[in-house]
Structure 1
Amino acid sequence: MRLSDGRHLAYEEFGVPLDRARFKIVFSHGFTGSRLDSLRASPELAEELGVYMVGFDRAGYGESDPNPGRSPRSAALDMEELADLLGLGEKFYVVGFSLGCHAVWAALKYIPHRLAGAAMLAPVVNYWWPGFPADLSAAAYGKQQYGDQWALRVSHHAPGILHWWMEQAWLPLPTSTVVDNTTHLPNKRDAEIRRALAADGTLQRKREMATQQGIHESYYRDMTVMFGKWEFDPMELPEPPCPVHLWQGDEDGLVPVALQRHVAGKLGWVNYHELPGTGHFLSAVPGLGDTVLRTLLG
């Protein structure tokens, strides 16, 4: 789909045909993801409820053109323009996973009047959001592995050199374990899933698909957008005119549950669902996709 600024977004459709849909959803994939990602709800439920969902390669990912001016705001506006070009109507739902939830937070900030509802699954947090108490944020940041701390620090304070930094093999610092898919995952299911995906080549295929426009335009720009200096603090957002749901595992090795609880506690209008004994890969939780759909669409 060609956007008004000339860029193209690649997209993939799921669920029932648009002309039969009662509910229309735009899905924002996570770090290393693609337009092929979705809630993985059952086809039977999508048919029963009349759900149409569109996933898209976020700017710089997969087959979508890069956007040198990418920001949370531009991510939200990309979703809005895609929805309009596809004819999803005056209001639509937005769902995000992991780092892709920056687009959902931005949609709640910049286009709340277009939203029928929003859902976030294991949304990544920015350690520098002003709404976090300094001691809480510092404690969570300090638990990250050394290389990840440096990658986060450079993403926030010196985003212009992140690409250079990440490519300097001579630096006496370990690289980002998130980029390398070597982060310690405390949840047993998460660890088993990653081992299986690595063994059958899925992780490598996903990386190759995601980085077609270059790792700088996909992974590294994602990091600078997510962990850079935001124009707003999600914890200061006013209550939107639509329901908002957030799912978080209490054994997430990538998103500190303590920070997620603080976000949910500050925003009384967020319906917070914490999943015990659960890690970051929520799409692997049996039946969760169906639960999310039924909950969001009410």
Structure 2
Amino acid sequence: MATGVNRKISAASARSHSRRANKSSSFQLPAGILRTTLAVLFIGFLAWAYQAAQPPPPKICGTPDGPPITAPRIKLRDGRHLAYKEHCVPKDEAKYKIIFVHGINSCRHDAVIANTLSPDIVKELGVYIVSFDRPGYGESDPDPNRTSKSIALDIEELADQLGLGSKFYVVGFSMGGQIAWNCLKYIPHRLAGVALLAPVVNYWWLDLPANLTAEVYSQTKLQDQWALRIAHYTPWLTYWWNTQRWFPSCSVPSHSPDNFSKQDRELLSKLLGHKGNYEVSIMLLGEYN
């Protein structure tokens, strides 16, 4: 009987000894090394995220590694250049002097009203139109400090250097409509009139009815809703969002036909049919400027 008890005690002692041995032999990373490793990984992630959010450096027209200058340009107050193209009657003979602002993936050649107006009407009314490459498009230098006000001041300076007088008209097409709106806000004293053609809406404009903008916003594609949120709330992530492959990005740059009605598609085929002649020049300076 005593022998049996001794055996039980010995077995229990053996199990206890085995647990202590396993516990003492398990590997534990020192807390200091663990914190350092996590800090290094976090810093590495931040470095990757910063690099992924930065667009590549743009090319500059007229520089050794940049495209040649083929368009007339003005030099702006900060040293940048703005390329432009004049249409219709000479400005010295014009009764109406119009600055046309193009939309996304376009350039100075996409002056829709100049390309579609009847020559007889242009001559009868005395219409002069000047279109320009928005900063970063075509042969206009990028503006790394671009704001809603700076582009309006660019337009004012373009008008002054071309001698359009104290007042002129502005027409904004598609995304150019927002720039025309900026002109109303920042240089209203220089405007004889403003027109927005098929403008893209800024859903955060305070002067628009909130219920209406919310309704229209909800009807856009989910991927475009996210693209708009990124651009509005975290604009520094816009480049990353447009180039990442994890989620669908904005459908507008790809000219998705789903964004247009049947009538729109018929009109676009006529308006953009000639674009193949100069499409390569739109992104001369890079795709994300």
Q: Normalising by the residue count of structure 2, what TM-score does the alignment of the two structures yield?
A: 0.68
Tell me if structure 2 keeps the 8 A contact 1:91–1:116: yes
> Which residue number in structure 1 is paired with residue 251 of structure 2?
177
Rounded Cα–Cα distance in structure 2 between residues aligned with 1:45 and 1:133: 37
| Compared CA separation, residues 151 and 57, structure 1 to 2 (3 A) | same
Q: How many residues align?
A: 213
Query: Quick one: which of 125, 140, 147 aligns to 2:201?
Result: 125
**Residue 20 of structure 1, CA deviation:** 1.6
d(CA) in 1 for partners of 2:213 and 2:240?
27
Structure 1 residues 68 and 106: CA distance shift in structure 2, 3 A: same
Structure 2 regions of 5+ residues with no counterpart?
1-73
- Give the distance between the partners of 1:42 and 1:133, measured in 2 at CA: 37
- Deviation for aligned residue 1:102: 1.6
1:79-110 Cα distance to aligned partner (Å, 9 max, x none): 11001001111111111111101221111111
Residue in structure 1 matched with residue 215 of structure 2 by the alignment: 139
Give the C-alpha shift of residue 19 in structure 1.
2.0
Aligned to 1:21: 94
Does the 8 Å CA contact 2:90/2:128 hold for their aligned counterparts? Answer: yes
Which of 225, 237, 244 matches 1:168? Answer: 244
> Partner of 1:213 in structure 2?
285
- Once the two structures are superposed, residues 242-287 of structure 1 have per-residue CA deviations (whole angstroms, 9 ceiling, x without a partner) of xxxxxxxxxxxxxxxxxxxxxxxxxxxxxxxxxxxxxxxxxxxxxx
- Are 2:160 and 1:84 equivalent residues in the alignment? yes
Higher helix share: 2
Equivalent position of 1:62 in the other structure: 138
Q: RMSD of the TM alignment (CA)?
A: 2.2
Contact between 2:257 and 2:265, CA under 8 Å: does it hold in 1? no
Distance, in Å, in 2 between the alignment partners of 1:166 and 1:204 is 26
After superposition, residues 270-281 of structure 1 pair within 5 angstroms as: none
**Counterpart in 2 of 1:108?**
184
Q: Percent identity?
A: 50
C-alpha distance 119-137 of structure 1, shift in aligned 2 (>3 A): closer
1:120, distance to aligned residue in structure 2 (A): 1.1
Note if contact 1:98-1:124 (Cα within 8 Å) is conserved in structure 2: yes
Moved more, 175-184 or 157-166: 175-184
Task: Name the counterpart of 1:6.
Answer: 79
The answer to whether the 8 Å contact 1:57/1:63 transfers is yes
Q: Which runs of 4+ in 1 moved over 6 A?
A: 195-198
How far residue 135 of structure 1 moved from its aligned partner, in angstroms, is 3.8
Q: Is the 8 A contact 1:9 1:59 kept in 2?
A: yes
Amino acid at match of 1:175: S
1:185 Cα shift? 3.8
When residues 154 and 183 of structure 1 are mapped into structure 2, their CA distance, relative to the original with a 3 A threshold, is farther
Secondary structure at the aligned position of 1:179 is classed as coil
Aligned-partner SS, 2:150: helix
SS at match of 1:216: coil
Q: Which runs of 5+ in 1 are unaligned?
A: 218-298
**1:22 Cα deviation (Å)?**
2.0
Residues 186-205 of structure 1: pairs in structure 2 closer than 5 A: 186-193=260-267, 202=275
The 2-side partners of 1:196 and 1:108 are apart by 30
Partner of 2:150: 74
- What do residues 39-64 of structure 1 show as CA deviations (whole Å, max 9, x unaligned)? 13122211111111100001111110
Q: 1:149 and 1:92 mapped to 2: Cα distance? A: 35
Are the aligned partners of 2:241 and 2:249 in contact in 1 as well (CA < 8 Å)? no
Structure-1-length-normalised TM-score: 0.66
